[in-house]
Amino acid sequence: MNEDYKNGFAHLIEKELNSEDKILKPDFNQKSGRELLAFYLQSKFKQLLSHDARLDQPIFTDIKYDFIQRFSKRLIQNPDKRIMIGITGESASGKSTICNKIKDVINDLELPVTILSTDNYFNDISDLIAKFGSFDTLRDNGYDVDSPNSFQLDVLKEDLQNLSEGTDIYSPEYLVNGTGISVPKARLVKSNKVVVVEGMASMYNDIKNIFDIKVYVETDMDIRKERFLKRAYTERNQDLENAKKHWQYILVAGEKYIKPFKSEADIIINGNADLNYFSQMLEYIHTITNNYENS
């Protein structure tokens, strides 16, 4: 493979920064300025996709044919609305890992972005766990934890609508210590220009309609299983036997509740891809949206 492609997006960033062929910074308050930016970003994004396709492990598995055009139109018509990005995928596909990587890059670039996990919107099931003795016993008695009915979807929808309109919210916090406790309005969540929401509930019912960009993360089964088992017994107080039993549950739940949304995703991301490439890609997107010629 060409050395440029082995280096991921690093050489594209350097090339962009050193380029003498830059556009004047558009006036985003004018529709004509936003149209110019949209056209510019469409051409750059196509360049990014072409480059990504040549990597050993491409980040993008698939892009909806009309996504770039639809998203550009949205930026032109409603520039003040927050950019809402929803990320879903089966359990242990890497949703949280990708969001953490986004957060790391964002912090380095000092960009205003919000990260929110829908896992904090699980119903409070502390009474049920007290009745059955443990989460695992509750699950073994038929409680369907990944069902849309197991989430506070009305609260989630209202919170996301407020965030999209620029209003800060207080989200609930679900305690992942086996107690099943959900603390209402426990976390301050700022409404920044870009809001990234990850978790299976991000695409449930009409929640998905709030997002400008719908992302599905797809990862090899063996990698997902290894991640899940490690997380279950190191972070969630499950012994290995119960973790394996829960893995069998989430395989069925994933087929039933998560996979159907893959066909609705604007972007399918390869969860096996090198996260260093992913970081470079985010830096490249930041570069092309902030690297203009001064008038």
| Sequential pLDDT tens for the chain (295 residues) | 444 545 667 877 888 788 777 667 777 788 888 888 788 888 888 888 888 988 888 999 999 988 988 888 888 888 888 989 999 999 889 898 888 888 888 878 777 889 999 999 999 999 999 999 988 899 899 999 999 999 999 999 999 999 999 999 999 999 988 899 999 999 999 999 889 999 999 999 999 999 999 999 999 999 999 988 888 777 766 778 888 888 999 999 999 999 999 999 999 999 988 888 888 888 888 787 776 666 5
User: 170: which 2 tokens?
Assistant: 């207080």
Beta bridge partners of 114: 195
- Which pLDDT score is estimated for 2? 45
Beta pairing class for 267-270 and 60-63: antiparallel
| Distance of alpha carbon 124 from alpha carbon 122, whole angstroms | 6
Are residues 171 and 159 in contact, defined by beta-carbon separation less than 8 angstroms?
yes
| Distance of alpha carbon 131 from alpha carbon 137, whole angstroms | 10
Beta pairing class for 83-89 and 213-218: parallel
Contacts by 68-77 with C-beta closer than 8 Å and gap 24+?
A: 68/42, 69/42, 70/266, 71/212, 71/213, 71/266, 72/38, 72/39, 72/41, 72/42, 73/38, 74/212, 75/34, 75/37, 75/38, 76/31, 76/34, 76/35, 76/38
Please count the other Cβ atoms lying within 10 Å of the Cβ belonging to residue 281. 22
| Distance of alpha carbon 60 from alpha carbon 49, whole angstroms | 8
- Which pLDDT score is estimated for 291? 67
- Where b means 16+ CB within 10 Å and e means fewer, 40-58 reads bbeebbeebeebbeebeeb
Please count the other Cβ atoms lying within 10 Å of the Cβ belonging to residue 255. 11
Tokens 């604007």 belong to which residue?
Answer: 266
Using CA atoms, how far residue 78 sits from 24, 28, 30, 34, 185, in Å, is: 22, 11, 12, 10, 29
| Distance of alpha carbon 151 from alpha carbon 203, whole angstroms | 12
User: 212: which 2 tokens?
Assistant: 């400008």
* CA atoms lying within 13 Å on the CB side of residue 29: 0
